[in-house]
Amino acid sequence: TMRRLAERGHPVTVVTPRLHDRFPGLPNVRYRLYAVKRPHPAVSHLTNLVGATRALRGMSRHAVAVSGSYDAALALSWARVIPRTPLVFLFHSELYSEWVQARALARQLLKRYMAAIERQVFGSSARIVAVSEFSARQIGDRAPTAAGRVRVVPTGVDTRYFCPPTSKPA
């Protein structure tokens, strides 16, 4: 998406964690990398939020902000990039963590926190791109007021080829 926008002459700024040192050099694309730590899901979430918020502060005006992660979308809000810049959120799946599901005592508190993040991101998005009708229904169930801003753009995966086999041996 970013490469295609840049090829059409749009200036693109990619704000992403510094997970490795090499990103493709592309015309009209610049990178703002921030540090992130990944020893634990909670630490990863926190360092993504703080790092992305710091990297986004003071950004020049862009026509649109596109985010495919809850952390980045929330950081756009914390850095006050949105609402002055419209957000397009690419919804791949619900905010889910196996770590959260495994924690019986904290599960309810963490689920409430994750639901609050989803509401914040859905509520601040000018458009939400869902990869399927199923995903669009998930968004509508979680944030009924956002349902009118959801557009379905299939991922382009050939589901006739990439599907569960008809039998276990297959």
More confident residue, 77 or 155: 77
37, 47 contact by CB (below 8 A): yes
Q: Return the top range by mean pLDDT from 2-11, 16-25, 54-63, 142-151.
A: 142-151
Region 102-124 average pLDDT = 79
Q: Which residues lie across from 15 on neighbouring strands? A: 32
Tell me the mean pLDDT in the region 120-132. 91
Weakest mean pLDDT among 68-72, 85-89, 96-100: 96-100
Task: Assign 19 a pLDDT band (cuts: 50, 70, 90).
Answer: confident
Residue 21: the pLDDT is 67
pLDDT surpasses 90 at 80 = no
Cα–Cα dist 9/21, whole Å: 25
Residue closest to 136 by CA, chosen among 125, 118, 148, 150 = 150
Nearest to 33 by CA among 16, 13, 21: 16
Confidence at residue 136, expressed as pLDDT on a 0 to 100 scale: 92
pLDDT of residue 96: 57
Q: Give the per-residue pLDDT at 61.
A: 74
Give pTM, 2 decimals.
Answer: 0.77
Residues 90 and 50: their CA atoms lie apart, in Å, by 21
Evaluate if residue 98 carries a pLDDT over 70: no
Q: Is the pLDDT at 100 greater than 60, yes or no?
A: no
CB 115 within 8 A of CB 100: no
